[in-house]
Structure 1
Amino acid sequence: MASVFTKVISGEFPGHFVWKDDKAVVFMTIQPIRDGHVLVVPREEVDHWDDLPPELLAHLTRVSQKVTKALKEAYPAKRVGMMIAGLEVPHTHIHLVPLDNMGDLSFDHARNAEPERLAAAATKIREVLLAQGHDEARVDG
């Protein structure tokens, strides 16, 4: 059975994308911990990150670095945290979260976000990615 992320990637469920390439996508989480919280997700449905082919894991890391640089500009913070938790959806995904302290990585702060707020955040991040020369940010929403 397809994961919720597979359904977002296929367009069956809505998503606010900031990056698309042949191996991975990046989209806004519907329950952000902080503004700018995105998910880096492989197109291939793999439950546990330690089961990813090494080259796909490396690709996800490279994409995460590029998106992090855009997040630092779009949502200035002391750091951008990178976390793989994977308990909520059985499809590997990397959380990228702008943060100023360790408490900013707590899922206790996650709240449902309005679609308009997610759309605005996605647009802001895509604009920075495009300005940084990443054509992968040319997505259809």
Structure 2
Amino acid sequence: MAECPFCDIIQGNLEASVIYEDDLVMAIVPLHAPYPESALVFPKQHIDHFTDLPKDLAMHVMSVGFDLSKKIMNKYQPGRMGMGVHGYGVPHAHFNVFPQNHPMDVVFRKMAYIKDGEVRFGFKNLPVPSREKMDEIARILRGSVLIPNER
């Protein structure tokens, strides 16, 4: 397996601001996100494609993401919440949970830039929040994350 930052986080070899963790999944504040009040939920088992997850694990990942989206909405009050799997970036299945304050936030408009006359997307224009800021967001969201099936 090639290097995987999510596996490194799970193994404790890479620092992360953890929001939620159980035996199957972990949720963190992402390092690169259009809004720092976002989350990534991923299985602890290294599986590249989300569609290769066993159905019960995929449902658990999405359930934790749903609970986090409600928490983000309540604490930060964005216009809407976005959730989804785009399948690129880190070769480890993950579910994105992000606030939306503009209709184009679903395509991460803050990641768009023009190069050679073409619209491109990347992290180069995104500020990276401090570890302290990410830890603060994780603490706030960790406070009352609903556990799946305890609604």
Say yes or no: TM over 0.5: yes
Q: How does 1:15-34 map to 2 (within 5 A)?
A: 15-34=16-35
Deviation for aligned residue 1:113: 1.8
Q: Which residue in the other structure is 1:90 paired with?
A: 91
Separation in structure 2 between the aligned mates of residue 6 and residue 26 of structure 1, nearest angstrom: 13
Separation in structure 2 between the aligned mates of residue 91 and residue 21 of structure 1, nearest angstrom: 17
Q: Where does the alignment leave 5 or more consecutive residues of structure 1 unmatched?
A: 135-141
Q: Which residue in the other structure is 2:122 paired with?
A: none
Rg bigger for which structure?
2
Separation in structure 2 between the aligned mates of residue 128 and residue 36 of structure 1, nearest angstrom: 15
Deviation for aligned residue 1:120: 1.1
* Cα contact 2:30–2:36 (8 A) shared by 1: no
Q: Which residue in the other structure is 2:68 paired with?
A: 67
* Identical columns (%): 24
Q: Which residue in the other structure is 1:40 paired with?
A: 41
Q: Which residue in the other structure is 1:114 paired with?
A: 130
Q: Give the SS at the match of 1:19.
A: strand
Paired letter, 2:95: I
Aligned pairs, number = 131
Q: Greater helix share, 1 or 2? A: 1
Q: Greater strand share, 1 or 2? A: 2
Paired letter, 2:100: L
Deviation for aligned residue 1:69: 1.1
Structure with greater contact order relative to length (CA < 8 Å, sep ≥ 6) = 1
Separation in structure 2 between the aligned mates of residue 70 and residue 20 of structure 1, nearest angstrom: 16
**More deviation, 100-109/35-44:** 100-109
TM-score of the superposed pair, with normalisation by structure 2: 0.80
Q: Which residue in the other structure is 2:7 paired with?
A: 6
